Amino acid sequence: MIMIKTPLKFLPLVLLCLVTSIVSAQKFEGLALTPPMGWNSWNTFKTNINEKLVLDIADKLAASGMKDAGYNYLVLDDAWMALERDNNGNLVTDPKRFPHGIKFVADYVHGKGLKFGLYNCAGTKTCAGYPGTRGYEYQDARQYAAWGVDYLKFDWCNTTGINAKEAYTTMSKAIKTAGHPMVFSLCEWGRNNPWEWAAPVGHLWRTTDDIGPMFSGIKKNMAGWSPGSVLKIISSQNAIRKYAGPGHWNDPDMLEVGNGMTVDEDRAHFSMWCMLAAPLMAGNDLRIMTPETLAILTNKEVIAVDQDPLGVEAYKYTEKDSVQTWVKPLKNGAAVCFLNSSFNPRTISFNWAENALKDDLSGMSIDFNTATYNVRDLWAKKDLGKTNKAFSKTLAPHSVVMLRVYK
């Protein structure tokens, strides 16, 4: 037998490493080294989902160019279940809306070269009143594994008296034990600061209440509460950027591109989600999307900013006269996004030589006085020359210019 002698003074350190490695072995590693991308049923369809719709969406996801652009998860949100579990406590698929069951849908989605996801909730019931997972974590995880589920979104309704970290940890362990690799998406709306504890537990965690399809302002939804606007959500993200990275992402909620905002607003929303290294879950009706919507969702150069392997979120560099300037460190250079949050046009002028881009989190340090970079406009898809020339442009209301500087 080989004995390894550890001096007594190092024992606490050894124990700490042991505990850390056990905790970090909890989730499936390597599944979301860049922010997950896909489509989710909630933002457009709410509880009105059925088999035909999902198969049609799978067809569109595969054939429209979305899958090629990276959207590879199709996730069914709330309301895929029947209202009661069966006599053995198993979840039951709603037999009317999904007559061939979930396995059939999962197989169809897999047959399109896509991955398949489902939704449930840490509470006793889901937000829409279907059976929640509380007390059934291991049984449900085995069921999902048997169906070939690759992604689980796990919500936070009906959880009075439950500890969030414990509840999500239990489900994470249940998934791992069931043995089928699954992306685990925590959806507790940032209520218990998941960014501080969820990295070993899951691959992404919601940071805010639900998004709504509006850029700014407040609009009550049918349930009588106000979803967050794009600008409101953006305003709370800078402070928590340091918690995100490969395999563990802040999730400012799913995309509302194509759901009623103007084209400029959709482009600004999408750009900022990419700057924030956010998961990109499209939430529009892919069967009827306009060419503009498709062009926004599939702009590969903008998506490349989101998917950059460094996995560092943008920081807010300045805000002046309703123009926010955000900078995202990239493996090669940086992305710079100017966002006009006002209802009036704004003219910006940015002299690179006067703006060193520095970020302690990533170690990025770019001084344009000592190095010249190339500049590319990612929406115009045009090279703009080099950083030895100032950049200026008039931004329409609620629009962005997104640039990439690179060597």
* Cα distances (Å, whole numbers) of residue 324 to 213, 331, 359, 395, 399: 21, 23, 17, 12, 11
DSSP state of 39: E
* Cross-strand bridge partners of residue 323: 320, 340
With respect to ligand GLA, which residue has the nearer C-beta, 150 or 253?
A: 253
Respond yes or no: is residue 359 known to be catalytic: no
Respond yes or no: is residue 155 known to be catalytic: yes
Tokens 């579990």 belong to residue: 85
State how far the Cα of 308 lies from the Cα of 108, in Å rounded to an integer: 30
Q: Is 127 in the site for ligand GLA (CB under 6 A)?
A: yes
Q: How far is the CB of 231 from ligand GLA (least distance, A)?
A: 19
Which of 77, 78, 140, 210 does the annotation list as catalytic? 210
Q: Are 218 and 226 in contact (CB under 8 A)?
A: yes
Q: Is 263 in the site for ligand GLA (CB under 6 A)?
A: no
Among 51, 137, 150, 155, binds ligand GLA (CB under 6 A): 155
Which positions from 300 through 359 interact with ligand GLA, judged by CB under 6 A? none
Region near ligand GLA per CB under 6 A, out of 65-73, 120-128, 260-268, 302-310: 120-128
Q: How far is the CB of 189 from ligand GLA (least distance, A)?
A: 6
Region near ligand GLA per CB under 6 A, out of 124-132, 162-170, 277-285, 370-378: 124-132
Q: Catalogue the E-assigned strands of 22-65.
A: 37-40
Q: Is 128 in the site for ligand GLA (CB under 6 A)?
A: yes
Instruction: Give the angle 130-131-135 at the CA atoms, nearest 5°.
Output: 155
DSSP state of 91: -
Which strand (E) or helix (H) includes residue 144?
helix 137-147
Q: DSSP per residue over 146-177, as a string? A: HHT--EEEEE-SS-TT--HHHHHHHHHHHHHH
Q: Interface mask (CB under 6 A) for ligand GLA, residues 172-211, using x and -?
A: ---------------x----------------------x-
Pairing mode of beta strands 323-329, 334-340: antiparallel
Grouping H, G, I as helix, E, B as strand and the rest as coil, residue 314 is coil
Region near ligand GLA per CB under 6 A, out of 10-18, 122-130, 133-141, 392-400: 122-130
With respect to ligand GLA, which residue has the nearer C-beta, 119 or 147?
A: 119
Q: How far is the CB of 78 from ligand GLA (least distance, A)?
A: 4
With respect to ligand GLA, which residue has the nearer C-beta, 43 or 340?
A: 43
Cβ neighbours around 101 below 10 Å, total: 15
Q: Is 77 in the site for ligand GLA (CB under 6 A)?
A: yes
Percent helix / strand / coil, the chain, rounded to 5: 30, 25, 45
With respect to ligand GLA, which residue has the nearer C-beta, 131 or 245?
A: 131
With respect to ligand GLA, which residue has the nearer C-beta, 49 or 178?
A: 49
Q: Is 78 in the site for ligand GLA (CB under 6 A)?
A: yes
Q: Is 42 in the site for ligand GLA (CB under 6 A)?
A: yes
Which of 140, 150, 155, 306 does the annotation list as catalytic? 155
Q: Are 118 and 80 in contact (CB under 8 A)?
A: yes
Q: How far is the CB of 224 from ligand GLA (least distance, A)?
A: 14
State how far the Cα of 62 lies from the Cα of 71, in Å rounded to an integer: 9
Catalytic residues: 155, 210
> What does the binding site for ligand GLA look like in residue numbers (CB under 6 A)?
42, 77-78, 119, 126-128, 155, 187, 210
